[in-house]
Amino acid sequence: MRRSEFLRAVEDEFGGRATALTHDLVLGALGMSALDALDAGVPPREIWLALCAETDVPAERRYGVGRLEPRRR
């Protein structure tokens, strides 16, 4: 997962709460907010999974999110 995919996944899952969650919510598994973790070099996939666990996102919505659909030729 790339940083852009992470940010897209957060926006898709949390909508208007995305900014507050990534800035203010301290993720127990990481000991810091999602944005602080990104800045610290933690892999975006690890942050995404920690955010999902912290906010009780169902397992079926945790994998493969944030990716753009492939271009059609």
Task: Please give the tally of structural domains in the chain.
Answer: 1
Length in residues, the chain: 73
> Is 70 a member of any domain?
no
Is position 10 within any domain? yes
Mean pLDDT of 44-72: 82
The more confidently predicted of residues 60 and 20 is 20
Evaluate if residue 69 carries a pLDDT over 70: no
Q: Are strands 26-27 and 32-33 parallel, antiparallel or unpaired?
A: antiparallel
Q: Is residue 72, in this structure, part of any structural domain at all?
A: no
Whole-structure pTM value: 0.84
Whether 71 is covered by a domain: the verdict is no
27 touches 47 (CB < 8 A): yes
Q: Residue 41: pLDDT above 70?
A: yes
φ/ψ of 71, rounded to 5, equals: -70, 140
Tens digits of residue pLDDT in 16-40: 999 999 999 999 999 999 999 999 9
Give domain status of residue 21, yes or no. Answer: yes
- Is 20 part of any domain? yes
Domain residue limits at 48 = 3-59
**pLDDT score for 63:** 81
The set of residues, in sequence order, having a beta carbon less than 8 Å from that of 27 and lying 6+ positions away, is 33, 34, 37, 47, 50, 51, 54
